[in-house]
Structure 1
Amino acid sequence: MVALNRAADGRWFARKGIPEDVREDYQRLYGHKREAHLKLPAGTPKHEAKARLGVKRHPELPPLRHEELPPPSGL
């Protein structure tokens, strides 16, 4: 599970470990091999930070089996 955290200076951040079996492919596609990071400025509202974290194919975080996720409610 990826947790959204807030630094002492107000910036938002999240990080996720990349599974060992896909590291090489992930590095080729996204440029990160061991961990993916999301960093947002201090002025970002909490609801926006949570939405950015939840995007299925965010380039700064690994996809989380998006094919198996149900569609968002209300669509």
Structure 2
Amino acid sequence: MGSFSIWHWLIVLIIVMLVFGTKKLKNIGTDLGSAVKGFKDGMRDGTTADANSAQQVTNAAKTDSNTVDVEAKTKS
């Protein structure tokens, strides 16, 4: 069983276009693109949000008189 030729893929593409229609395929492509963009933005925001939240916790600890300053160490 070798790989499919270009003619096989063209026939599959034509059948998919007949079943779904070009408008629906365009909407699926647009939805998929916006989902990927949203995922990338979420990943980018996730890295900056961690640094900002740590800074906010540090600033809040300085203003709270009941906070005890400790240093956390990891087990090795």
* TM-score, reference length from structure 1: 0.27
Which has more radius of gyration?
Answer: 2
* TM-score, reference length from structure 2: 0.27
Q: Which has the higher helix share?
A: 2
Q: Which has the higher contact order (CA 8 A, sep 6+)?
A: 1
Q: Which has the higher strand share?
A: 1
